[in-house]
């Protein structure tokens, strides 16, 4: 039930992103200023990216999972690859996560176990490729977001967090 509600929330946010800009389909290049979409991976959820100039962007990810949620903020540098619409990017940032018992990294019970409600803080890196389809306002990305977590229980964890993304650009 909770998974269905989360999926409906993510789909609704994606559809709202499609409709919030009246000139959405007037975008014809591989460049954009702002995008909203979904990221699938260890950190799955809603993503928002905004460029401050042609090479620097801020990306925020609001992630949800079983009995928890988190917020990740990244500053990214984007470089053109020579192919229209294709960029390589890298950057760094941090995250905060809030979780309840057995909700955080539930697949790694051998490492994270026997804790109650808690908070996790961490640092993140990111490296990836993004392709903005030139005639339409859609961007696809593939990335690797390594992170180090420090839990309120005192445990420290590391994850590589690969991800796939789809965003509506405007």
The DSSP code sequence of 50-105 is: EESSSSEEEEEEEEEETTEEEEEEEEEEEEE-SSTTEEEEEEEEEEEEEE-TT-TT
Whole-number Å distance between alpha carbons of 153 and 24? 46
pLDDT digits (tens, 9 = 90+) for 106-138: 444 444 444 567 899 999 999 999 999 988 999
* Mean pLDDT confidence for 144-154: 91
* 18-36 pLDDT tens trace: 544 444 444 445 689 999 9
Where does residue 120 rank: exposed (0-12), middle (13-18), buried (19+ CB within 10 A)? buried
Which domains does the chain possess?
2-169 (2.40.160.20)
Query: For residues 62 and 45, is the Cβ–Cβ distance under 8 A?
Result: yes
Contact 62, 68 (CB under 8 A): no
Mean pLDDT check: name the lowest of 14-18, 51-55, 73-77, 121-125. 14-18
């Amino acid at each position: 039930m909770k998974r269905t509600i989360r999926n409906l929330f993510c789909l609704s946010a994606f559809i709202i992103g499609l409709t919030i800009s009246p000139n959405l389909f007037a975008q014809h290049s591989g460049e954009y200023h702002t995008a909203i979409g979904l990221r699938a991976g260890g950190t799955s959820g809603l993503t928002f990216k905004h460029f401050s100039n042609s090479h620097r962007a801020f990306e925020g990810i609001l992630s949800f999972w079983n009995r928890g949620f988190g917020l990740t903020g990244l500053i990214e540098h984007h470089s053109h690859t020579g192919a229209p619409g294709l960029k390589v990017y890298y950057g760094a940032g941090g995250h905060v996560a809030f979780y309840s018992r057995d909700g955080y990294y539930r697949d790694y019970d051998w490492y994270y176990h026997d804790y109650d409600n808690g908070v996790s803080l961490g640092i993140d890196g990111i490296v990836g490729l993004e392709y903005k389809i030139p005639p339409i306002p859609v961007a696809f990305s593939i990335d690797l977001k390594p992170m180090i977590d420090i839990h309120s229980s005192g445990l420290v964890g590391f994850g590589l967090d690969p991800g796939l993304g789809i965003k509506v650009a405007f």
